[in-house]
Amino acid sequence: MEKIVIKNANIVTMAGFSHGPQKGKEFGELGVIEGGTLIMSNGKIDKVGKDGEFEIPEDAKVYDVEGRLVTPGLVDPHTHLAHYGSRENEYTWRIEGMPYIDILKNGGGILETVRQNRLATEEQIFEQSMENLKRMISFGVTTVESKSGYGLDWETELKQLKTNKKLQEETDIDIVSTFLGAHAIPTDFKNNPEEFVEKVIEMLPQAKEYATYCDVFCEEGVFTPEQSERILLEAKKHGFKVKLHADEIVPTGGAQLAAKLGADSADHLLCVDEEGMEMMAKEGVVAVLLPGTSFNLMTDKYAPAQSMIEKEVPIALASDFNPGSCPTENPQLIMTLACLNYKLTPAQTLAAYTINAAHSVGMADKIGSIEEGKQGDVVVFDCPNVDYIPYRFGISHTYSVFKKGKLIWEK
Ligand SMILES: N=CN[C@@H](CCC(=O)O)C(=O)O
Ligand SMILES: [Zn+2]
């Protein structure tokens, strides 16, 4: 395999946090090497240091990046990537004031995408997802968590889970596959949600063949904390790791439940309370925050990121890419929204999208930082420093993307 050298770079390493995510005062520690060089071979990072500190192998392909910013590959830890169709019809309804959750209660929203995916072939789901994955890569994303949840029956959930598998096989991208059979109550189970909970539990053994994580949309009018707990406890028995859509629209105690279950992350958290944050901090549950969703749903509520930092809850950021609440794949835009609405610094948003995101999907031993022995997942941004990414918003700054030590995208 070709040896790759990137030199004359402003390298953000995020080094020193493979054992645990950045939190509290250490959140945003970039570990910058100015005028740096890194060497990758056999898919891994061999060396990282100052220019001239070590010899450049003669047989290496050398990229002089002329002072550009080099960071760990971005990790998007909450997406609904594997789906077919779109819901632009709801956009106007929402602008006119119809609440997102009311659209769902009337059979639209997630249920509309369920309808579209039940009708779609596996091929259609795969092709659309691949196109969207390529767009993610173009923004610097090298690892993606991808949920099912637009089937709510085994046949369609399987089409999505198979799509995750195929995306992983046909690209170099790591796809962290999540089973979200409990994403909504299907219309035919509207009057008997408990029966649907049983159906989801029945799907778990087959789903485990395709997915690492199990997730539930714990929300008023969707799955209660009791139902969520029941599903996730069963999931754990089958060997799943767990995550939770928690405290998004109303407070339900989702954060507490995530902590109690030892979840790797609790996601959304717009309405999380003090106790929920304290329990998450104690159990080391990563808060995956989704500012694009607050923005796109025009809520005036954003997750209390500053209280989380104060309480030492580790924070990751994600796109929540999906056809309804947040149809964007762009992590650079999400970083801008996180700076402006959570008052995170640009450095914190980058830590949240790399090392902390890697922890939230249980992969920090392999990815999330530029350190010797880690996977060669690296992005070159056409930027002089980290601040420039969220500051100059609405465009893409990606210059080139390396995955497992190979160039996979360039401007
Ligand atoms: N909140 C629940 N689920 C998704 C939205 C999915 C959709 O609107 O299609 C989310 O994470 O935002
Ligand atoms: Zn989601």
Q: Point out the ligand 1 atom lying closest to the alpha carbon of residue 248.
A: 1
98 C-alpha to ligand 2 centroid (Å): 20
Find the residues whose C-beta lies inside 6 A of ligand 1: 80, 109-110, 113, 217, 245, 248, 293, 320, 322-325
Instruction: Report the distance separating Cα 159 and Cα 161, nearest Å.
Output: 6
Which residue among 243, 322, 328 is best mutated to probe the pocket of ligand 1, counting the most ligand atoms within 8 A of its Cβ?
A: 322
Q: Which residues are annotated as a binding site for N-formimidoyl-L-glutamate?
A: 150, 322, 324
- How far is residue 239 CA from its own chain's centroid? 21
Rounded to two decimals, the pTM is 0.98
Å from CA of 322 to ligand 1 middle: 7
Taking CA atoms only, the protein residue closest to ligand 1 atom 5 is 325
Q: In sequence order, what are the beta bridge partners of 178?
A: 147, 213
Q: What span, in angstroms and rounded, lies between the C-alpha atoms of 73 and 261?
A: 29
Could you identify the residue written with the tokens 């939770």? 244
Shortest-distance Cα residue to atom 7 of ligand 1: 324
Residues 145, 176 contacting (CB under 8 angstroms): yes
What is the pairing mode between strands 315-317 and 286-289?
Answer: parallel
How remote is the CA of residue 78 from the centroid of ligand 1, in Å? 10
Query: Which residue, judged by its Cα, is nearest atom 8 of ligand 1?
Result: 324
Q: Residues 6 or more apart from 157 whose CB is under 8 A from it?
A: 148, 149, 151, 179, 181, 203, 207
Residues of the chain with pLDDT under 50: none
CA atoms of 265 and 174, how far apart (whole Å): 18
The pLDDT score that the predictor gives to residue 1 is: 74
For residue 2, the model assigns a pLDDT of 87
Task: Summarize the annotated binding site as residue ranges.
Answer: 78, 80, 87, 150, 183, 245, 248, 320, 322, 324-325
